[in-house]
Every structure is written in structure tokens, then in C-alpha cells.
């Protein structure tokens, strides 16, 4: 999609890849020799991978393996941390993210959901309507439609439709996390990043959100960082294993879980021998 003011003028179409028995699939994100450091500390080094259109791409690995730093590099969250230095290339829609003149346009296309729900001090309605308003949507009828659509897509509408003007912070933890997802969806992103979304959510709500993600992959690409390896197995078509700041390998999720790995450390992590 092309959002008005999205700094899209010279974007090169991303290449497509063909697999046996499958139609060609467009590459949404291509990472080349990515490195991330914080001062003298190297968090990531030499990461190379691609993410395809309309897939859930899982990233697993123990704590401090560089997973969150990887996400931060994708939509230039390093701007919030002066000590964070990014090297290599991150190509989104065929273009290095550091060459986007309008970083806010980039972030409209790459949504983020953090481990803990970050609710704005606003009503449920305004949490979802804020981004469309900032993008220039003014008609109440149009905003109402966006809010309802996003809350439905986040499996939250039926629970909050009668109290849309109550504070979002009064919702339960699981509801607040789904509100965060709805707020991200209000920007109509092409790529949605989720960083340990279920860390503060009960198992029942986790499964509900997982069902939401399965539906959303028909509309967008999702990168899911999780330290719950079975969650990656349930959701991701392909999975990358990160360890000690490196991407050890990327493969078909079911193949990795079946033991078809290139590095024994991947199998050891998946089977719970460490981590």
C-alpha cells in the first residue's frame, strides 16, 4: 500500500522468489550483514536473512541473543538511543530504511507491539483513533469505522464496544495488549513486529491473540520474536535462531522442529537443552 506522504516516490519493488510447488513470493524485508552495538557492547553481528510477504517469521533464542535489537533496527528505533549504532543494510520495500527521509512514514508502515502493553492515557476509542487523526482523518463516521475495524481485528470489539470512551488503562492486561495491537493496526502497516507479546498475558488471552495473528497474516507480514519455542512452532512458517548476537540459522519451522538443522545448537535450544 502507499500512504499519502509516505516517502514512496523512488521505492524499488522488492524481488520475488520462487519455490517448488509454490507461487512466487515477494520479499518484504532483506537484511544484509546487519550489526548493532551499544557503545563498546556488540549486540548483533553479521545477520543476513529475508522475510517474505504474508508470512509469520519467527525469531527464537535465549535472553541477550540480540532479538530485540534486531527489531529496533528495522524501523529506526535506534533514534531513541544515541549509543545504539547500526551497520549493514535493512531493505524494506526494496529500500534501505536509513534512506527514508520521513521516518514517521516508515513507522506507519512498520508497526510494533512491545512485550508490555503501552497504553496511551486516552480512552479506548482515542487510543485507536489517534494515528488516523494524525494522518489527517477528520470525519467522525470514518474514524468510527476505523476504530471498530481495528478492535474487531484485534479480537477486542465485543468486550469494549459499550465502553469505548473509558480509559484504556482500566482494561485488563490481556485487553490492553490487544488494544496495543489494534492501535498498531490503525496505521494499516505492511509489516507488524511483535516482541514477546505474551510475556504479561495469561494463556487463554495468548491463544486468542495467536488466532488474531493467523488471520492477520492474510493482510500483512508479521515478525514474531518469542522465547516460547512452541509458540513459534504454532505460528511461524519460517524461524530464525539467534544466539550470542548472531543469526545461527533460518529454516522452515516444521523442518527445524523435526531435527533438520544445520547447527546442533539450534536443535539443542529447541529441545530445551539450554536457554
pLDDT at 66: 95
The predicted-structure confidence for 68-116, as pLDDT tens digits, reads as follows 999 999 988 777 788 899 999 999 988 899 888 888 888 889 998 887 6
Closest CA to 146 of 130, 159, 162, 168: 130
* pLDDT reading at 20 higher than 50: no
- Residue 155 corresponds to which cell in the numbers above? 479480537
pLDDT at 97: 92
Question: Across the chain, what does the average pLDDT equal?
Answer: 87
Specify if 124 maps to a domain.
yes
pLDDT at 77: 78
Specify if 225 maps to a domain.
yes
pLDDT at 143: 96
Closest CA to 263 of 243, 235, 236: 243
pLDDT at 202: 84
**How many Å apart are CA 203 and CA 80, to the nearest integer?**
32
Domain total for the chain?
1
Specify if 3 maps to a domain.
no
- Residue 204 corresponds to which cell in the numbers above? 487463554
CATH of the domain at 139: 3.40.50.300
Domain hosting residue 20, numbered range: 16-270
**How many Å apart are CA 225 and CA 210, to the nearest integer?**
13
- Average pLDDT of the segment spanning 141-161: 94
Give the contacts of 138 (CB within 8 A, at least 6 positions apart). Answer: none
Specify if 10 maps to a domain.
no
Band (pLDDT 50/70/90 cuts) for residue 6 is very low
pLDDT at 21: 44
Closest CA to 201 of 180, 184, 187: 180
The predicted-structure confidence for 177-233, as pLDDT tens digits, reads as follows 899 999 999 988 999 999 988 887 788 888 988 998 999 998 899 999 998 999 999
Specify if 11 maps to a domain.
no
Cβ pair 39, 222 in contact under 8 A: no
Closest CA to 31 of 216, 263, 242, 197: 242
Specify if 183 maps to a domain.
yes
Amino acid at each position: 500500500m502507499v500512504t499519502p506522504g509516505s516517502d514512496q516516490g523512488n521505492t524499488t519493488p522488492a524481488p520475488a522468489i520462487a519455490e517448488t510447488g509454490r507461487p512466487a513470493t515477494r520479499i518484504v524485508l532483506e537484511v544484509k550483514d546487519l550489526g548493532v552495538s551499544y557503545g563498546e557492547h556488540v549486540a548483533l553481528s553479521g545477520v543476513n536473512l529475508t522475510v517474505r510477504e504474508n508470512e509469520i517469521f519467527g525469531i527464537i533464542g535465549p535472553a541477550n541473543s540480540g532479538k530485540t535489537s534486531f527489531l529496533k533496527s528495522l524501523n529506526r528505533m535506534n533514534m531513541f538511543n544515541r549509543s545504539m549504532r547500526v551497520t549493514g543494510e535493512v531493505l524494506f520495500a526494496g529500500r534501505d530504511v536509513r534512506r527514508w527521509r520521513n521516518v514517521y512514514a516508515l513507522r506507519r508502515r512498520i508497526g510494533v507491539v512491545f512485550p508490555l502493553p503501552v497504553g496511551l492515557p486516552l480512552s479506548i476509542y482515542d487510543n485507536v483513533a489517534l494515528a488516523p487523526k494524525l494522518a489527517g482523518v477528520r470525519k467522525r463516521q470514518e474514524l468510527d469505522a476505523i476504530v471498530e475495524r481495528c478492535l474487531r481485528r484485534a479480537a477486542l470489539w465485543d468486550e469494549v464496544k459499550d465502553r469505548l470512551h473509558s480509559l484504556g488503562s482500566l482494561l485488563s492486561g490481556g485487553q490492553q495488549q490487544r488494544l496495543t495491537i489494534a492501535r498498531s493496526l490503525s496505521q494499516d502497516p505492511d509489516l507488524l513486529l511483535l516482541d514477546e507479546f505474551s510475556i504479561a498475558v495469561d494463556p487463554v488471552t495468548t491463544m486468542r491473540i495467536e488466532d488474531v495473528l493467523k488471520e492477520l497474516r492474510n493482510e500483512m507480514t508479521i515478525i514474531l520474536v518469542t522465547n516460547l519455542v512452541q509458540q513459534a512452532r504454532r505460528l511461524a512458517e519460517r524461524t530464525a535462531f539467534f544466539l550470542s548476537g548472531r543469526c545461527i540459522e533460518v529454516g522452515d519451522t516444521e523442518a527445524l522442529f523435526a531435527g533438520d538443522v544445520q547447527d546442533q545448537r539450534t536443535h539443542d535450544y529447541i529441545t530445551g537443552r539450554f536457554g
